[in-house]
Amino acid sequence: MRITSTSCICPVLVCLCFVQRCYGAAHHGSIKVTRNQTKHIEGETEVHHRPKRGWVWNQFFVLEEHMGPDPQYVGKLHSNSDKGDGSVKYILTGEGAGTIFIIDDTTGDIHSTKSLDREQKTHYVLHAQAIDRRTNKPLEPESEFIIKVQDINDNAPKFTDGPYIVTVPEMSEMGTSVLQVTATDADDPTYGNSARVVYSILQGQPYFSVDPKTGVIRTALHNMDREAREHYSVVIQAKDMAGQVGGLSGSTTVNITLTDVNDNPPRFPQKHYQLYVPESAQVGSAVGKIKANDADTGSNADMKYTIINGNGSGVFSITTDKETREGILSLKKPLNYEKKKSYTLNIEGANTHLDFRFSHLGPFKDVTMLKVIVGDVDEPPLFTMPFYVMEVYENAKIGTPVGTVTAHDPDAANSLVRYFIDHNTEEDRYFTIDASTGTIKTAKIFDREETPWYNITVAASEIDNPGLVSHVPVGVRILDVNDNPPELARDYDVVICENTKPGQVIQTITATDKDDSANGARFHFSLDEGLSLNPNFTLRNNEDNTASILTKRRRYSRTSQDIYYLPVLISDGGMPPLSSSSTLTIRVCACERDGRVRTCHAEALLSSAGLSTGALIAILLCIVILLAIVVLFITLRRSKKEPLIISEEDVRENVVAYDDEGGGEEDTEAFDITALRNPSAAEELKYRRDVHPEVKPLSRHHPSSSLDSIDVQEFLNQRLAEADLDPSVPPYDSLQTYAYEGHRSEGGSISSLDSATTHSDQDYNYLGDWGPEFKKLAELYGEVEPERTT
């Protein structure tokens, strides 16, 4: 097999390759390279060697960025079976076959139809095969070969990370590394010098330099001062083809900033300063500022101000404002123009962060002198003391002097001073002050036990200038007098057991006194001497402000007396001594053998009756059962009786049932029936049957004619007179029955009392026609017998 290619092997012979390609195209590939033949000079004979397989391929080369009008010739495929008669057909498959690369199927010539870019794709893998055109059978096995895209210098170097921002300390040594820049070239670094980059500096000299191979930027001068120039703009160029003429280039900008170091000491703009401060300036207030200049920045410019000497170091102090880096002068003590009119201060300003590399540029501090002039002002009165403490007894009368405050004018004029109390608080109203002398007096009566201390404020002003006012606090302590008697500390619940022995302590008592300890801390306890000797209890004073209550006999009985009252007299040790009497209540209780109280009241009553707890429970249970039986009985008696009308319909429309029934007309035992009859039916007037009358009635018998004509009013008055004159009337209210309704009327009586034996002529048979609702009523009033239903 023969492989013919016009691609040049040596990169240096690019131009020769181009001439070769043109020449080869004109002679139709007359340059042949085969594996089993050796090329000789034209006219010489060929020497044949042992035949080898010819269908073996080398790689082809094609130049990128081909811009010619004709397709670019790549190479030629040839099989040893090809006799030149067109019977062999060449087929090309693989990457770009038919689109980028085309082949003449008769001659095997391969051409590139498009301009290729090596930076997008470096090579193409294709497959070649030779077949018999008539039988379509392969003459050679399919073989793979590569077409490489050969690079040309068509890409300029690029700085992918630019522009750059970098810093370097000022005053750095020459050659200090600043930054390394790197440019990339997309061309093939293995082919020629297309990707070989060289760096150079276009802008930034003579301050900086760049290494042409590595791209490292370095300082090129000694002691570059930030205070002189801080920012630099350096332009770096990268050029391929090793920097030769015709190479492509790219550039980037590097912005370099010099950072600060402490290479400048602070300096005061002036060596002498003068400050005016009025004598009225408040202690602790800022009275002035001073500042030393430092050309450095940041922490390198931080400084501290101090007062190193001078006659005002004890009167003034200085601090440093970290934001403004100023020295703040403050007042430590009050100024007095009349005593001292000026002060001299030596102030030092020094850096706090030192760099010993630049100590030769020091010292990094500076000193200036400050003269402070004190200004005279009209000052308010000045009290002789910053505060006053006075004392007065609680029983002092109104107008009693408490104390005196004194103030004077500190100025040379020495004006007169007026004193007053503003009375802004309730405590101020307890005192008055003499406007001329400053003497404070009481205005109300004090009670130490209620308020032991008063805080007031006294003001003083100049008579000539009332607007200048000064104030001073005054504390008044109220002294105690013995005006409160002692009393028991609490209400004691004293309990004594029935089996207590004589001389046994049953209670220890203490006392309290509202007065101060000097007038009431010592208490003396005793029994009231005005009473007779107590046979049951005695009291022992313990001489420690306590007293003990002791028993005097052996046993105490709750049945005979369960409570004892013991008067106790308590006196204090004040001058004069005060005393009070209190009564202790002592209860007698039943106790266990170990002294624990069992009970004090309920069991005592039971014991006196001779009943135990179990017997009491049984009695109470019986009482409860009896009460339950009585309540049940009363409930059954009052239970609802069976109604007269029993019907399946149980018609109850508009019927109100009254369950309480009287004994009827047959019942003559429940009450005197004559009281319900009219006077004409009574033969004689009846008296009360519960007592025996001792007087005769006003009238015994009345004729029938007189009874018929008697009036109701007269009848009522007669009965009232009998009741009033009856001496046997009991002292309780009694019922007088007045059932007489008066003389018979023409219409007759509507009462059923006199109609028990009469029969009504009225016919009630029509009730049966009213329907089933009135069936029961028709049976009651009709003559028809009711139907019995089972």
Q: Give the C-alpha separation, 755 to 290, whole Å.
A: 136
* Interval 400-437: pLDDT, tens: 999 999 999 888 778 899 999 988 888 888 999 999 99
User: In angstroms, rounded to a whole number, what is the distance separating the alpha carbons of residues 524 and 544?
Assistant: 9
Give the fold, CATH level 3, of 487-597: Immunoglobulin-like (2.60.40)
Q: At how many degrees (to 10) do helices 602-609 and 613-637 cross?
A: 90
pLDDT at 149: 83
pLDDT tens by residue, 470-528: 999 999 999 988 888 888 888 888 888 888 889 889 899 998 888 777 655 588 888 87
pTM: 0.42
Q: Determine the pLDDT at residue 232.
A: 95
Asked if pLDDT for residue 667 goes beyond 70, the answer is: no
Does 24 have pLDDT greater than 90? no
Start-end ranges of CATH 2.60.40.60 in the chain? 59-150, 158-259, 272-375, 382-479, 487-597
User: By mean pLDDT, which of 268-277, 354-363, 603-612 is the weakest?
Assistant: 603-612
Hey, is 657 helix, strand or coil? coil
pLDDT value of position 482: 82
Residue 690, pLDDT above cutoff 60: no
Mean pLDDT of 297-323: 90
pLDDT in tens, 517-569: 765 558 888 887 777 788 889 899 888 889 999 998 888 888 888 898 889 89
- Per-residue confidence (pLDDT) for residue 208, from 0 to 100: 94
Q: Which residue has the higher pLDDT, 268 or 669?
A: 268
Mean pLDDT in the chain?
78
Q: What pLDDT score does 276 carry?
A: 94
CA atoms within 13 A on the CB side of 309: 1
Query: Could you tell me the pLDDT band of residue 388, with boundaries at 50, 70 and 90?
Result: very high
Write down the architecture of domain 272-375 according to CATH.
Sandwich (2.60)
- Which is higher by pLDDT, 599 or 443? 443
Predicted pLDDT at 333: 92
Are 207 and 219 within 8 A, CB to CB?
Answer: yes
Cα within 13 Å of Cα(396), Cβ side: 21
Structure tokens at 617: 């429970």
From the centroid of its chain, how far is CA 784?
94
**pLDDT for res 736:** 58
Contact 207, 221 (CB under 8 A): yes
Q: What is the mean pLDDT of residues 164-189?
A: 90
Q: How many C-alpha atoms does 593 have within 13 Å on its Cβ side?
A: 0
Residue 190: CB atoms within 10 A of its CB come to: 8
Helix or strand (DSSP H, E) at 44:
none
When pLDDT is averaged across residues 5-34 and rounded to a whole number, the result is 35
Predicted pLDDT of residue 514: 83
3-state SS of 709-756 is HCCHHHHHHHHHHHHHHCCCCCCCCCCCCCCCCCCCCCCCCCCCCCCC
Q: What is the pLDDT of residue 691?
A: 47
**What are the distances in angstroms from CA 195 to CA 185, 198, 381?**
5, 10, 94
Mean pLDDT of 619-642: 86
Domain 59-150 is found in CATH 2.60.40.60: yes
Q: Each residue of 124-159: pLDDT tens digit?
A: 898 998 898 888 898 888 888 888 887 777 788 999
List the 208-210 sheet strands across, edge first: 177-180, 216-219, 208-210
User: Per-residue confidence at 709, pLDDT binned at 50, 70, 90?
Assistant: low
> Would you say residue 647 has pLDDT above 60?
no
Q: How far is CA 648 from the centre of its chain?
A: 77
Q: Report yes or no: 444 and 430 within 8 Å, Cβ to Cβ.
A: yes
Q: What is the CATH T-level fold of the domain 158-259, as seen in this structure?
A: Immunoglobulin-like (2.60.40)
| pLDDT score for 702 | 45
DSSP secondary structure code for residue 593 in this structure: T
First-to-final CA distance of the chain: 140
Q: Give the burial string for 201-215 (b: 16+ CB within 10 Å, else e).
A: beebeeebbbebeeb
- For 233-262, how does the pLDDT look when each residue is reduced to its tens digit (9 = 90+)? 999 999 988 878 878 889 999 999 999 998
Which residues contact residue 169 at a Cβ distance below 8 angstroms, ignoring those fewer than 6 apart?
Answer: 258, 259, 261
Question: For position 15, what pLDDT does the model report?
Answer: 34
DSSP letters spanning 674-715: GGGS-TTT-SS----SSS---S--S-S---HHHHHH--HHHH
Collapsing DSSP to helix, strand or coil, 449 comes out as: coil
Report the C-alpha gap between 614 and 567 in whole angstroms.
Answer: 40
- What confidence tens digit (pLDDT) does each residue in 312-342 have? 888 999 999 999 999 999 999 998 888 888 9
Instruction: Tell me the percentage of the chain whose pLDDT exceeds 70.
Output: 76
Burial 20-50 (b: 16+ CB within 10 A, else e): ebeebeeeebeeeeeeeeeeeeeeeeeeeee
Rounded-to-integer distance, Cα 580 and Cα 525, Å: 10
Each residue's pLDDT tens digit, 46-81: 444 444 445 556 678 887 777 878 888 888 888 888
Q: Which CATH number fits domain 382-479: 2.30.110.10, 3.40.50.720, 1.20.1420.20, 2.60.40.60?
A: 2.60.40.60
Contact 20, 4 (CB under 8 A): no
Helix (H) or strand (E) segment spanning residue 787: none
Question: Cis bond leading into 363, ω under 30°?
Answer: yes
Q: What is the mean pLDDT of residues 436-456?
A: 91
β-strand partners of 676: none
